[in-house]
Structure 1
């Protein structure tokens, strides 16, 4: 999880396309690729595919979003309401109202999309690590269940009598 957080920080601090960042994002998203030998002989995967230009191309960034967040919708925008805002923003959604991830970049729309993807994957990782929500009526280990009303004991004894009589009521 800290790897994703560090990658988010690097994407949000990037000032433009970066092959090293492309390779690190591809590794984090488990996309197996290698650098082109003409560009850089340092390997980053197991096959001979060329590294997608994730930080340079909106198309490559959106293709990654659709690959790692199946069925997601996306919104990408440019503009500022205040001078302190990033120029580019992206949201990845599931359906019309569930935001999977959101990201911003002052440099390029591709970086904003990548930030949104990484935020979505970080949220998914955190959900998988947190315990499932406990039913409020379910007692914790060592606790008694919720108190039952007076008539419940009578209903329980009637159900036991019926099961002993073969279910006849």
Structure 2
């Protein structure tokens, strides 16, 4: 199912049964339901990856959702830092091993709202995993209004 969700711009998070209700309520099912950015990237070890650019038509808060490990238990994840930048604006969304033990980030799913301008952003991912096993990360950004086009699916 994780592979199918990755290829169709969906989300496939793993979470302990105890946290199922709080995590499902944080999926983009009720607010900010329209995908405006979707990429699935393979990483291993530590490094930096340039991601596809982000093009946003409206200035308001967007919902970022990331799966930072494609299986449980959390065994090699150390940290990720999703960064966005252009000449007039920049920001980042960082998740580290300390975050994943809380209810807010329990399991393999991290999420939050961030303010963006109506412009183009260069996207970069810094990652740190303790092993060399390949991880498939799902990075999605959602809006409260739809785009005029359908996002391409990941291969």
TM-score bracket relative to the smaller structure = under 0.3
Flag the structure with higher strand content: 2
TM-score, normalised by the number of residues in structure 2: 0.25
Flag the structure with higher helix content: 1
| Structure label with greater radius of gyration | 1
Higher relative contact order by CA 8 Å / sep ≥ 6: 1 or 2? 2
